[in-house]
Amino acid sequence: MLKQVQHDNDRNMQKHPEYQYLDLVREALEHGIKKVDRGTNIKLYSLFGRQTRYDLSKGFPLLTTKRVYWKGVLHELYWFFSGQTNIKYLVDNNVHIWDDYPFKIFKIKNKKSNITKDEFIAKIATDAGFARKWGNLPRIYGEMWRSWPTRTKRTIDQLKWVMQEMKEDPDAKNLIVTSWNPEYLYTMARNIDASRFPICHNMYQISNRNGKLSLQLYQRSADLFLGVPFNIASYALLTIILAKIAGLEPGEFVHTFGDVHIYENHIEQMKEQLKREPRPFPTIKIEGKLKKLEDFTPDKIILENYNPHPPIKGELTVAGGLYEKKHR
């Protein structure tokens, strides 16, 4: 039995690692349970409890069966990493993957406004006061990672703490950064405190494994078409950056899913992607000094040898978050 398991593992390792993602897509299409998203009423096909693993010594897992928006991956991670919560940084760098959520909040709180999303984003870019008021997404990942709010009004820099803890105790098993704070989420929160963004990347844990830094992400909710390719690249890059700062080699990125799903309006795109053969993964090169958290800036990260298939476009589903209760 053990020999058979080892044989299966060896055979799977010989496949291109991108097939882990493609196999998840195929399984969701063929066996996913049909659900309906409560905020959008869009049907989705859902699996629960899956895991993929990427050995970062064998290439950087930026998917190749469609072009992934690398600039967005890089600037979004820096946005999180530096503790920012206002989309103005992203807008100023022409990254618009987060535009919908602050616009959604603005429309909820300004029901009589006729402003379009394009007009809203233009004001974020050009009006500093408007950006401060309406561009902010409180209790989002950057704040949770770097300035976790406590009942005593102090804040905790979780990312800084885990890096220092690993330095003091390389075998530590408590190196966890969490973004899941019930005080600010859903109907657990007071309405005045509630974040209107759904925290999907609940927590990640890092571990020093014989001189290699590995990272495991637990993601409670994962959009296979648009979100997961981004998430794989983002947290794999985070693993590489933290390993460099710690003076270690990159190990594995382990991606553990709760609910992993395909929205009905992405099914044809997913079928098209399944027809494509993976190509060799690209590589990441780090230029310049990277010895502490503050040293990371996007210009130090160089993506090399990325040769993907063409992009496949799909509509963003602005799902999750705090919805106004419906009266029955």
- Mean pLDDT value of segment 53-77: 98
The contacts of residue 14 (CB under 8 Å, 6+ apart) are none
Task: Please list the active-site residues.
Answer: 200
Cα(60)–Cα(37) distance, integer angstroms: 32
> What's the confidence (pLDDT) of residue 4?
47
Q: Is 288 left (phi over 0), alpha (psi -120 to 50) or beta?
A: left
| Residue in the block written with tokens 């933290």 | 242
Q: What is the mean pLDDT of residues 243-258?
A: 98
Host domain of residue 288: 47-85+138-259+278-304
Per-residue pLDDT tens for 278-293?
A: 999 999 999 999 999 9
Q: What is the pLDDT of residue 9?
A: 45
- 34: helix, strand or coil: strand
Q: Is residue 106 in some structural domain?
A: no
pLDDT for 320: 56
Residue 5 is predicted with a pLDDT of 40
The pLDDT-based confidence of 327 (bands split at 50, 70, 90) is: very low
**CA neighbours within 13 Å on the CB side: how many for 317?**
24
pLDDT at 2 > cutoff 50? no
Q: Is residue 191 part of a domain?
A: yes
| pLDDT tens-digit map of 259-271 | 999 999 999 999 9
- Phi/psi region, residue 223 (left: phi>0; alpha: psi -120 to 50; beta: rest), is beta
Q: What's the average model confidence in pLDDT over 233-250?
A: 98
% residues pLDDT > 70 (the chain): 91
Q: Which residue has the higher pLDDT, 196 or 136?
A: 136
pLDDT digits (tens, 9 = 90+) for 108-160: 899 999 999 999 999 999 999 999 999 998 889 999 999 998 889 899 999 99
The residue type found at 262 is I
Q: How far is CA 74 from the centre of its chain?
A: 11
How many structural domains are present in the chain?
1
Q: How many CB atoms are closer than 10 A to CB 153?
A: 6
With pLDDT > 90 as the criterion, what percentage of the chain qualifies? 79
Average pLDDT over residues 254-260: 98
Using a CB cutoff of 8 Å and minimum separation of 24, what contacts does 108-114 make? Answer: 108/196, 108/324
Structure tokens at 181: 């704070």
CA dihedral 163, 142, 261, 283 (to 10 degrees): -60
Q: What is the CATH number of the domain that holds 248?
A: 3.30.572.10
pLDDT tens profile 200-241: 999 999 999 999 999 999 999 999 999 999 999 999 999 999
Is position 239 within any domain? yes
Mean pLDDT within 89-102? 94
- Report the Cα–Cα distance between both ends of the chain, in Å, rounded: 56
Q: Report residue 182's pLDDT band, with 50, 70 and 90 as the boundaries.
A: confident
20 assigned to some structural domain = no
Q: What is the pLDDT of residue 187?
A: 73
Q: Is residue 177 part of a domain?
A: yes
**Mean pLDDT (the chain, rounded):** 91
pLDDT number for residue 316:
77
pLDDT at 39 over 90: no
Residue 99 maps to a domain:
no
The reply to whether the predicted model has a pTM over 0.95 is no
How far CA 209 is from CA of 56, 62, 73, 214, 243, in Å, comes to: 13, 23, 26, 7, 11
Let me know if residue 58 belongs to a domain: yes
The 10s digit of each residue's pLDDT in 290-324 is 999 999 999 999 999 999 999 999 887 765 554 45
Contacts of 204 (CB under 8 A, 6+ apart): 176, 177, 215, 216, 217, 218, 235, 238
**pLDDT score of 328:** 32
Q: Indicate whether 19 belongs to any domain.
A: no
The predicted pLDDT at position 196 comes to 62
